[in-house]
Amino acid sequence: MKRIAALLMAICMGIAVVGCSGSTTKENSSGKESAGTTEENKAETKDSGKLVVYTAAAQDVLNACIPEFEAKTGIKVELVTAGTGELLKRIEAEQANPLGDIEWGGVVSVIAPKMELFEPYLSPNESAQLDSTKNTEGMITRNNIIPMVLIVNTKLIGDIEIEGYEDLLDPRLKGKIAFADPAKSSTSFSHMVNILGTIGAGDESQGWEYIEAFTKNLDGKLLASSSAAPKGVADGEYVVGLTHEELASSAIRDGSPVKIVYMKEGAMVSPGTVQIIKGAKNMENAKKFVDFLTSKELQTLTASELSMRASRNDVPAPEGLAEISAFKIVPEDIDKTLQNSQIWLDKFKDIFTS
């Protein structure tokens, strides 16, 4: 109840928490989009009392985390939500005059090629991070662990069996698969990498053959953001979607008739990230936010209430989710992904549009 009251108070104070189904912009009190360089913008200091967060996080994650952060620090948060790819493009376009302070969301393989957009920062909480979630680059802080999964609408699935990627080629699913543009969605990009690392293991051409058949079964439908896939399945627009565990478990908590499927071919388990935008006007507040997301207190809360897998080594696994040992883990070759990310995105676009 305390968190709900805090959230209602935040809403009354005018904090715009918007959905993740597409790109949104934060408006100022005059109703105009914040843009341009002004003396007032330049004059903002670490004691400005606000923080602008660009994020692709699910709504219930925002509802749990943002009021807690505001109550703990007294800092007012302004949110701009969109898919990770869109946010990165926005940050890149705003380099001369950063309008955001934090980018929250996206996996390492998507964020790493854009590291020049972010400030070096090592949180004091780094010592409690799992070895696999250490900020070895200096700019990319991991705040949770996210397995790639499928989300299935249990009311629409009928007698179709879905255990992994191969089952998505079933002709009965044509036009009923929710998948976002991998150029705009880090989750979809991760699934593409997952496919190349499983079906295409040892022979990447087999992975691309699968992707070609898969895109034909999409029937020309490609969604604009990571959150649109699980939402489409939860709302009954699609039978199955490619997403990650957090968004899928969020739909389950909301009471949607869906279930999680861990692909039989194997699932990449990627850490979610948070980073400080280079030249952030509210730099000290941004550091506080990174420290907050990696704190034991917050990660214990999100594990118990949101079933988020913690990046820390001192927070138990969430109840109700499969143990990591219960499904096949596919290790990601980060260097290979970084070297080929644009090549793969271009190839996917060529296949989809051909």
Segments making up each domain of the chain, as ranges? 2-145+271-310, 147-268+325-353
- 346 vs 43 pLDDT, higher one: 346
Residue 344 has pLDDT above 80, yes or no: yes
Taking Cα atoms as reference points, which of 314, 287, 285 lies closest to residue 300? 314
What's the chain's length in residues? 354
Instruction: Write the DSSP assignment of 26-78 as a string of letters.
Output: -B-TTSSBP-S--HHHHT--TTS-EEEEEE---HHHHHHHHHHHHHHH-PEEE
pTM of the model: 0.65
Round to whole Å and give the CA distance between 251 and 231: 8
The percent of residues in the chain predicted with pLDDT above 90, rounded, is 66
Give Cβ neighbours of residue 91 (< 8 Å, ≥ 6 apart). Answer: 54, 98, 100, 103, 114, 117, 277
Give the C-alpha separation, 122 to 154, whole Å: 43
For residue 47, what pLDDT is reported?
Answer: 60
Tell me the average pLDDT of the chain. Answer: 86
Higher pLDDT, 44 or 238: 238
Show Cβ contacts of residue 166 under 8 Å, excluding neighbours closer than 6 positions.
Answer: 199, 210, 265
Domain 2-145+271-310 and domain 147-268+325-353 have a common topology: yes
How many beta carbons lie within 10 A of that of residue 247, not counting itself? 28
Q: What are phi and psi of 286, to 5 degrees?
A: -65, -40
According to the model, what pLDDT value does residue 213 have? 98
Alpha helix (H) ranges present in 235-293?
Answer: 245-253, 283-293
Q: Could you read off the pLDDT of 143-181 as tens digits, one per residue?
A: 998 899 999 999 999 999 999 999 999 999 999 999 999
Residues 121-142: what's their mean pLDDT?
94
Q: Is the pLDDT assigned to residue 11 strictly greater than 90?
A: no
Q: What is the residue whose two structure tokens read 């080594």? A: 313
Once rounded to an integer, what is the mean pLDDT over residues 178-187? Answer: 94
Is the CATH code 3.40.50.300 the one for domain 147-268+325-353?
Answer: no
| pLDDT for res 33 | 38
> pLDDT, tens digit, for every residue of 285-311?
999 999 999 999 999 999 998 888 999
Residue 194 pLDDT > 50 = yes
40 CB contacts (<8 Å, ≥6 apart)? none
* Radius of gyration for the alpha carbons in the chain, expressed in angstroms and rounded: 20
Lowest mean pLDDT of 18-22, 87-91, 124-128, name the range: 18-22
**Res. 123: pLDDT tops 70:** yes
Q: Which two tokens stand for residue 139?
A: 């700019």
For 12-40, the pLDDT digits (tens) are 334 333 333 333 333 333 333 333 433 44
Least confident residue range of 3-7, 84-88, 165-169, 252-256: 3-7
- Crossing angle of helices 283-293 and 296-306, in 10° steps, is 60
pLDDT at 262: 96
Q: Which residues pair with 121 in a beta bridge?
A: none
pLDDT at 146: 84
**For residues 311 and 271, is the Cβ–Cβ distance under 8 A?**
yes
How does pLDDT run across 25-82, given as a tens digit for each residue? 333 333 333 334 334 444 344 468 999 999 999 888 999 999 999 999 999 999 999 9
Give residue-wise pLDDT tens across range 90-118.
Answer: 999 999 999 999 999 988 888 998 999 99
- Range from 26-30, 156-160, 217-221, 246-250 carrying the lowest mean pLDDT: 26-30
Q: In whole angstroms, give the CA distance from residue 146 to residue 157.
A: 25
CATH topology of domain 2-145+271-310: D-Maltodextrin-Binding Protein; domain 2 (3.40.190)
Strands 267-276 and 329-330: parallel
